[in-house]
């Protein structure tokens, strides 16, 4: 049995069957969820850990290939894991629809059906169906588990997932469901019951508990405040708060950087909203080493920070890796698309905003936008700047505009009955995916005459958006044949038009995930232009033993990126104050770091 060193944490006191872990990307949801699963298993419970993140790294944590089937974790008795893989779920979903008619329909018609079911809407529905079955299966494989823990995608994607049971239930109850979105009509009654059961399970505090995970940072605490309100509005009121990676007071002595971080974190905690203060709350200390491996996970909830070795030295030369060097090269052009991609919580918004501000300061016209449902660029900028236009591809607004456009064009020539049917079709939750893609496509088009800097959603959500871009390209190619055309995907694939910047942290999991993202992009013939290693402790050279030990662990990760992943690399040090506001963002690219 794996030894578990743990203090009592509130969110694991009398836990219900379902626990959801959500929060802004990079706050440690996976570590908290995995540590909780290990703790419950150590108490003799049968536990299933489920990842609903399209960019899941649960398999990496346990050193196993998990995938779309329930897999026992041999090193932890009583623990199993499952990753809802969107691509595999979508493939299985397509096969359930196409398989019965294969051999009965002409090949051309089968190809058309397959193409119709290849978009991001199908991927969303397929993943969602698997999610709802886990919540409602009382007689199948799920009955063996005492607890099911969901390690979810970053906040915006999770809110969308948890809203879907109600969205699809409303859509079906209104009689608007059809085979184009949900599959064969014969299955709609079963799906209606399934979705209604999921709604009931999510809203029942005896069965479901929401754990809002944050760091002691202004932005992530503001994020879970918004999440608290949005989830409470759809009936998910049984919530707990975990603030992860809090620097202990004992680790903040005799080091100006550590002291500044400690004061900043304590101030953020002191400024918590009344709504969050009213919820049960746990603080989890920052450990001297990264939370990698079963032993580290088993002791995550302890108050022991580890045993940092202050004698080791940090040998890292970052003088030749300033963010300003990348900006110099970008600014040599007159326009183009710049996309900042990566795992949630690595600082994509900060890096995207800093690049946009730097280009605008140099006299270029710049449009800074975000595709992140939980993105808040205005919180980072805290001001305006000549030449800089800021926007957000808001799913709600994009969907409203798309519906109005379709009704004004396609609906103009329809009779009353036809227009009513069109309006019903446009109420489908799938409409949002199409609307967001079209808004994204318009931003790409703008880059022909100005700089467009895109702060993308966390990795998994971005890959789904790129999947929609690929589906649109294939449909245009099929319809136009040999005629000349240019699609958004073709612009993304052109290195003269698009510069993809992968943002990461100098830690094992973020670097592995960033490398995986780079491979996915290469498969789509989209070539990363540069990497930015953000918030580097090694570059900041702390003297606090805890921070120094973590800095030492960064060195091999930085060297791996430099050697194996990127020709262009910038290393941005962790700062004593958060880079919020245009002056602070300008400082990130104004001079070399060292």
Return the active site residues.
Answer: 26, 28-31, 53, 509
How far, in Å, CA of 24 to CA of 35, rounded? Answer: 18
Tokens representing 297 are 């996970």
- Residue found under tokens 């379709």: 406
Please answer whether residues 353 and 391 qualify as being in contact, where contact means their C-beta atoms are separated by less than 8 angstroms.
no
Please answer whether residues 341 and 526 qualify as being in contact, where contact means their C-beta atoms are separated by less than 8 angstroms.
no
List the strands of the sheet with 281-285, edge to edge: 71-72, 79-83, 47-51, 147-151, 18-22, 208-215, 239-246, 281-285
Q: What is the DSSP string of 113-157?
A: HHHHTSSHHHHHHHHHHHHHHHHH-SSSGGGG-SEEEEEPPPHHH
Q: Quick one: DSSP state of residue 186?
A: G
How far, in Å, CA of 453 to CA of 443, rounded? Answer: 9
Please answer whether residues 173 and 210 qualify as being in contact, where contact means their C-beta atoms are separated by less than 8 angstroms.
no
The H-or-E segment that residue 405 falls in is helix 395-409
Which residues are 172's β-sheet partners?
Answer: none
Count of positions (residues) in the chain: 594
How far, in Å, CA of 449 to CA of 431, rounded? Answer: 29
In three-state form (DSSP H/G/I as H, E/B as E, the rest C), the secondary structure along 518-557 is: HHHHHHCCCCEEEEEEEEEHHHHCCCCHHHHHHHHHHHHH
């Amino acid at each position: 049995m794996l030894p578990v060193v743990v203090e009592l944490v509130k969110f694991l006191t009398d836990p219900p069957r379902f626990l959801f872990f959500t929060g802004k990307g990079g706050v440690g949801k996976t570590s908290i969820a995995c540590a909780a699963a290990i703790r419950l298993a150590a108490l003799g419970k049968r536990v299933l850990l489920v990842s609903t993140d399209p960019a899941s790294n649960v398999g990496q944590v346990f050193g196993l290939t998990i995938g779309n089937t329930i897999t026992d974790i041999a090193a932890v008795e009583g623990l199993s894991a499952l990753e809802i893989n969107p691509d595999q779920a979508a493939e299985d979903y397509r096969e359930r629809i196409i398989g019965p008619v294969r051999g009965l329909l002409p090949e051309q018609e089968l190809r058309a059906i397959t193409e119709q079911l290849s978009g991001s809407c199908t991927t969303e529905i397929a993943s969602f169906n698997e999610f709802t079955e886990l919540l409602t299966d009382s007689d199948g494989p799920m009955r063996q588990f005492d607890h099911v823990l969901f390690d979810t995608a970053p906040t915006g994607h999770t809110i969308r997932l948890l809203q879907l049971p109600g969205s699809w239930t409303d859509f079906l109850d209104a009689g608007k469901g059809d085979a184009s979105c949900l599959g064969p009509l014969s299955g709609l009654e079963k799906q209606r019951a399934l979705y209604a059961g999921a709604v009931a399970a999510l809203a029942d505090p005896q069965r479901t508990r929401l754990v809002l995970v944050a760091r002691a940072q202004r932005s992530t605490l503001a994020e879970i405040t918004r999440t608290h309100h949005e989830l409470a509005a759809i009936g998910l009121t049984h919530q707990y708060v975990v603030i992860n990676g809090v620097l202990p007071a004992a680790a903040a002595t005799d080091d100006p950087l550590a002291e500044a971080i400690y004061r900043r974190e304590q101030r953020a905690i002191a400024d918590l909203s009344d709504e969050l203060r009213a919820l049960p709350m746990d603080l989890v200390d920052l450990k001297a080493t990264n939370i990698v491996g079963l032993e580290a996970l088993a002791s995550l909830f302890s108050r022991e920070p580890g045993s940092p070795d202050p004698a080791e030295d940090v040998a890292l030369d970052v003088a030749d890796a300033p963010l300003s060097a990348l900006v110099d090269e970008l600014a040599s052009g007159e326009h183009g698309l710049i996309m900042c991609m990566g795992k949630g919580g690595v600082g994509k918004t900060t890096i995207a905003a800093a690049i946009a501000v730097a280009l605008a300061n140099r006299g270029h016209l710049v449009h800074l936008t975000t595709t992140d449902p939980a993105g808040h660029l205005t919180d980072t900028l805290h001001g305006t700047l000549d030449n800089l236009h800021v926007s957000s591809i808001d799913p709600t607004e994009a969907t409203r505009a798309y519906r109005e456009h379709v009704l004004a064009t396609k609906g103009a020539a329809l009779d009353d009955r036809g227009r009513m049917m069109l309006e019903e079709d446009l109420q489908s939750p799938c409409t949002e995916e199409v609307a967001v893609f079209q808004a994204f496509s318009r931003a790409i088009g703008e880059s022909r005459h100005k700089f467009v800097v895109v702060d993308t959603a966390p990795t998994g959500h971005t890959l789904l958006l790129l999947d929609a871009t690929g589906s649109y390209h294939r449909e245009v190619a099929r319809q136009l044949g040999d005629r000349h055309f240019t699609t958004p995907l073709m612009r993304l694939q052109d290195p003269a038009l698009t510069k993809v910047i992968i943002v990461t942290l100098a830690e094992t999991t973020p670097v592995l995930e960033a490398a995986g993202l780079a491979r996915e992009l290469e498969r789509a013939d989209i070539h990363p232009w540069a990497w930015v290693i953000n918030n580097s402790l090694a570059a900041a050279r702390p003297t606090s033993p805890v921070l120094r030990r973590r800095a030492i662990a960064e060195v091999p990760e930085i060297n791996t990126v430099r050697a194996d992943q990127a020709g262009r690399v910038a290393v941005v040090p962790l700062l004593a104050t958060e880079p919020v506001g245009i002056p602070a963002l300008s400082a990130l690219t104004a001079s070399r770091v060292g």
